[in-house]
Structure 1
């Protein structure tokens, strides 16, 4: 532990140098986006101890923030709310010097985290050349990427920066997260004001390294450790790549992770994921002095696919746990969240491995639907695929009543029933068998149950409970307009629905 602390101290000294120099923290820079009104942007940095710092905003409007003193080498300033737009210059001044950020815009900042499918960059997606060629057409969508660093203690600032705040171009966007960039681009077309995108992710990482110790403690994971490749210790990426960002005012977060937990503390993910969301919200709210909303919107991608034909239930189980075992979001445990279902976007010829599908355009588009509805309260935006609102079991048939009109394509194995000798459970000794669909209407499916061997009875129904449940955009159930796939579900039959 002592050796790790020394490494962290040396890294911080090599990056930041002396705190006596007046400057901004690592993730502020020319071309950046600051959070627009009604929230208030927070800026901070370093300066001579005891010096009085004044911050000046110049551009479409002018603002002079109240002077603050440098304490323990650090200053913090919270601006009055600023409407979307720009460009602005932001200058901090002391008696002995000044520092200026140029070409600053005000808009919405989205933090993008997770593992390799979030890290998957724009050179790797389908039609990458065409996508990169139009990047410069979106000069108000700005990007920033934290460098891959880890720490055994919580850091106040980033150790290093991989991509400083940049105006989009073919070169500046090439190595940036595809899901994050495409989401930002699509949202800009809808909102028509600046979007700031902050990428902080690392491939092959479990959720435990992105969670604080207090969050892990709530799920009984604080003292659990197993050898991993890459970042290995609990909280090391929370410490180095998330905690330093807490002072920044943000609009919301996007997350694409879970593959690594398909075989690492899988059974805890229904706790660790929603708990991490709650913890990030609390920490960003406190870190920004109350400017980031305490329930800021959090969007995530439900796991896509990995191994075709496998009966391994790691991916299906994580998909379920990503919703706190409800099957859909938002729900009571995961409020102000939204989800992009991706199990119908497999890529069997991906040169980056089947676990890395190249179609990130549909993923990002589905996230934008959720953001428009949940984060921006846009009315009439469908963002949820069909989900059962009632399941009835008659003895020979199961009737699934959906919460919306569906588009249905025949499938022989996507629906399964649990046949159990114990009507009260579907346990390890139970048998899952295909349940053919015999009849359907715009909102109801009728499933046959005759494959259950007597005296077993049907105790549960599940849908798309496979790693790779269907071919590309060819799952059985979609929304009426065929845009949104139905998420997987596992529903136990209780007296109310038998």
Structure 2
């Protein structure tokens, strides 16, 4: 798989002496000039290192903060500012008898953490129409990027080992090497919010969800420290997420799952929701309660990889990304939103088909979800059609969707499982095509004629292939034609007539 892990581990030797203990007063490495701090009503957290026992006072200029000195304990100082409305710029100064540390050109807005593997790492300079996008960079000076460097650790670290890109005012050269999905999401959100947006990129290509999860999260899914490879559990959580926990953030977006098509695939319906829950708890605690305990979490449902009928695990991971519900938010994954991307294949991508270049549509769909779920915008359609009712007979399967649909005829994207034993359907069952016969404003009728007379329709699935359709050409979209229906698999209750449920 492209963008695979580096073959050599970075061995981290943690010194017993923290930075600052030699007499210097420092901010933690995730802070810097040009950064964005979280706006009101949340309160931004500032922290750093200093000589043990000294008093540190943090001030904001211009501002009406009433700074109270804090004592350096364990080599660390930490201050929670009063709430500051969106805007800026400000200067932030930390002073003690050990000296002064300052941050300039600081803005207050919303901070979004961008995580995952290579499709989140995918650079803005690599997307379709990259030159046009990069030419716009300096028109968004209040969208500020920051990038964590790639490092691993076998223990949870207090501070980042290294910063790849310090907080920066965007330019073409800066944005060109930054995550395309993260940047586009940030600038699209800025166009709606009209106040600063901070983007923190922390991702690594070819990585499984287990590497980004704490040991306690993995234990929830029956996984422990059992492997000895570059995919070691928790090594990226330890080095690239844990050092960020004191930062107050507004939300997170995520693009990952390709690697888990081959690594603990059957566990992903547990490990992914467990990771989200654990991140929320850890950021809430790390920021002293300032990051919301249920902060909004958006993700990209997997795009495509291979244009074949072979089941490469991608359909199952797409399903598991929703905790096997089929859509989000749902009771297991509250306050989440999803960008469906299976209709965006890129067979000629020079970076491999697993890395499609259309990240604009991905980011736009994430933005719709964020506006509705994270910011509570009413009346905004942010998810594609999903079945609200399914009925079947000997000849037809009728689907009623939860919204108006735009339909294009298709012979094979819907499939039915034909069973004569009322046994549960699986990947080895007899699945046959169910062509679209008719449709209405919210309904689609499928043919069940390929089932034998001795069989009944026992299950139904949609888009259950790696590449189910051509570019933006799946058969079912929202009425406007902009939001694709997500894949699903549902079955009949055995012995309960015409009642259906999700797998």
Normalized against structure 2, the TM-score is what? Answer: 0.95
Superposed CA deviations along residues 102-123 of structure 1, whole A, max 9, x for unmatched, are 0000000000000000000011
Q: Distance in 2 between matches of 1:19 and 1:203?
A: 37
1:181 is aligned to 2:183: yes
Please state whether the residue corresponding to 1:238 is helix, strand or coil. helix
Superposed CA deviations along residues 412-471 of structure 1, whole A, max 9, x for unmatched, are 100000111222421355200000111111111111111012322111100000000000
Q: Distance in 2 between matches of 1:160 and 1:210?
A: 17
Which residue of 2 is the match for residue 271 of structure 1? 270
Q: Distance in 2 between matches of 1:303 and 1:6?
A: 29
Flag the 1:455–1:224 CA change in 2: closer, same or farther, 3 A. farther
Contact 2:19–2:50, Cα closer than 8 Å, also in 1: no
Contact 1:210–1:238, Cα closer than 8 Å, also in 2: yes
Q: Distance in 1 between matches of 2:422 and 2:22?
A: 68
Q: Distance in 2 between matches of 1:388 and 1:29?
A: 48
Describe how 1:26-425 pairs up with structure 2 within 5 A: 26-59=29-62, 61-225=63-227, 227=229, 231-425=230-424
Contact 1:423–1:458, Cα closer than 8 Å, also in 2: no
Which residue of 2 is the match for residue 8 of structure 1? 12
Flag the 1:437–1:204 CA change in 2: closer, same or farther, 3 A. same
Flag the 1:422–1:107 CA change in 2: closer, same or farther, 3 A. same
Instruction: Structure 1: state its 5+ residue gaps.
Output: none
Query: Larger deviation: 435-444 or 266-275?
Result: 435-444
Which residue of 1 is the match for residue 5 of structure 2? none
Which residue of 1 is the match for residue 443 of structure 2? 444
Superposed CA deviations along residues 80-119 of structure 1, whole A, max 9, x for unmatched, are 1000000000000112311110000000000000000000
Q: Distance in 2 between matches of 1:142 and 1:282?
A: 26
Describe how 1:472-487 pairs up with structure 2 within 5 A: 472-487=471-486
Q: Distance in 1 between matches of 2:247 and 2:149?
A: 17
Flag the 1:352–1:293 CA change in 2: closer, same or farther, 3 A. same
Please state whether the residue corresponding to 1:139 is helix, strand or coil. coil
1:379: Cα distance to partner?
0.8
Flag the 1:226–1:99 CA change in 2: closer, same or farther, 3 A. closer
Q: Distance in 2 between matches of 1:361 and 1:314?
A: 25
Contact 1:58–1:88, Cα closer than 8 Å, also in 2: yes
Superposed CA deviations along residues 49-107 of structure 1, whole A, max 9, x for unmatched, are 11000000002x23132110001111000001000000000000112311110000000
Q: Distance in 2 between matches of 1:386 and 1:12?
A: 55
Superposed CA deviations along residues 337-365 of structure 1, whole A, max 9, x for unmatched, are 00000000000100000000000000000
Aligned residues between the structures:
490
Please state whether the residue corresponding to 1:166 is helix, strand or coil. coil
Instruction: Structure 2: state its 5+ residue gaps.
Output: 1-7
1:163: Cα distance to partner?
0.1
**Structure with a larger share of its residues in helix:** 1
1:5: Cα distance to partner?
12
Please state whether the residue corresponding to 2:29 is helix, strand or coil. coil
Please state whether the residue corresponding to 2:13 is helix, strand or coil. helix
Normalized against structure 1, the TM-score is what? Answer: 0.96
Q: Distance in 2 between matches of 1:16 and 1:73?
A: 8
1:381: Cα distance to partner?
1.1
Flag the 1:76–1:417 CA change in 2: closer, same or farther, 3 A. same
Please state whether the residue corresponding to 2:147 is helix, strand or coil. strand
Please state whether the residue corresponding to 2:167 is helix, strand or coil. strand
1:18: Cα distance to partner?
4.5
Contact 2:389–2:400, Cα closer than 8 Å, also in 1: yes
Superposed CA deviations along residues 115-153 of structure 1, whole A, max 9, x for unmatched, are 000000011000111100110000000000000000000
Which residue of 1 is the match for residue 4 of structure 2? none
1:226: Cα distance to partner?
6.8
Please state whether the residue corresponding to 2:431 is helix, strand or coil. strand
Flag the 1:19–1:75 CA change in 2: closer, same or farther, 3 A. farther
Aligned-CA RMSD value: 1.7
Q: Distance in 2 between matches of 1:158 and 1:459?
A: 52
Contact 1:57–1:63, Cα closer than 8 Å, also in 2: yes
Q: Distance in 2 between matches of 1:274 and 1:129?
A: 37
